């Protein structure tokens, strides 16, 4: 009975997942932020993006990265209107950044599809980059395409 009550309660956030190679970003988009809401040790504030408990500027530093992760918010003109918390794991920093961008775009699209989906889709922000590392083949000497060296005689 308690499980049914939990399932019927409305969440106060929109959830989305973004992936790229081995990286996975789980994004929560809060339209309204309740008093005392924490993410890790940091309080969640409207207009702020937190990644693994840190401000996004510290996790993905630099102006190039900032332009990338702000693109979904700039395209939809929602910069500063939502609070975002992101848990990202796996892969390297670039893969994590791409997963984060896809997660933010999907969360915005799920929050208000009639408003944001068309804008995000036209910018190519809702498309997952399916390229992954090529698997290792049997008999190749440790690499995917490397052939074993043949003996001279």
Q: Where are the domains of the chain?
A: 9-122
Fold of 9-122: Ribosomal Protein S5; domain 2 (3.30.230)
Q: What is the mean pLDDT of residues 38-57?
A: 88
Alpha helices, DSSP H only, in the chain? Answer: 2-8, 56-59, 63-75, 93-111, 113-122
pLDDT digits (tens, 9 = 90+) for 132-152: 989 998 888 888 888 887 777
Structure tokens at 26: 């789980």
pLDDT digits (tens, 9 = 90+) for 27-44: 999 988 888 888 888 888
φ, ψ for residue 102 (rounded to 5)? -65, -40
Q: Is the pLDDT of residue 22 over 80?
A: yes
What is the distance between the alpha carbons of residues 12 and 5, in angstroms, rounded to a whole number?
15
What is the distance between the alpha carbons of residues 90 and 102, in angstroms, rounded to a whole number?
15
Looking up tokens 């969440």 gives 11
Tell me the whole-structure pTM to 2 decimals. 0.85
């Amino acid at each position: 009975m308690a499980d049914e009550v939990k399932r019927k309660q409305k969440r106060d956030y929109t959830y989305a997942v973004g992936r790229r190679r081995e990286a996975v970003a789980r994004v929560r988009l809060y339209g309204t932020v309740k008093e005392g809401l924490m993410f890790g040790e940091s309080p969640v504030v409207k207009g702020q993006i937190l990644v693994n408990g840190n401000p996004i500027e510290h996790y993905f530093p630099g102006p190039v990265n900032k332009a990338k992760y702000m693109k979904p918010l700039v395209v939809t003109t929602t910069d500063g209107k939502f609070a975002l918390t992101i848990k990202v794991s796996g892969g390297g920093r670039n893969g994590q950044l791409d997963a984060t961008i896809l997660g933010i775009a999907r969360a915005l699209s799920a929050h208000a599809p009639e408003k944001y989906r068309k804008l995000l889709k036209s910018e190519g922000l809702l498309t997952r980059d399916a390229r992954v590392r090529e698997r290792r083949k049997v008999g190749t000497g440790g690499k995917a395409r490397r052939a074993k060296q043949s003996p001279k005689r």
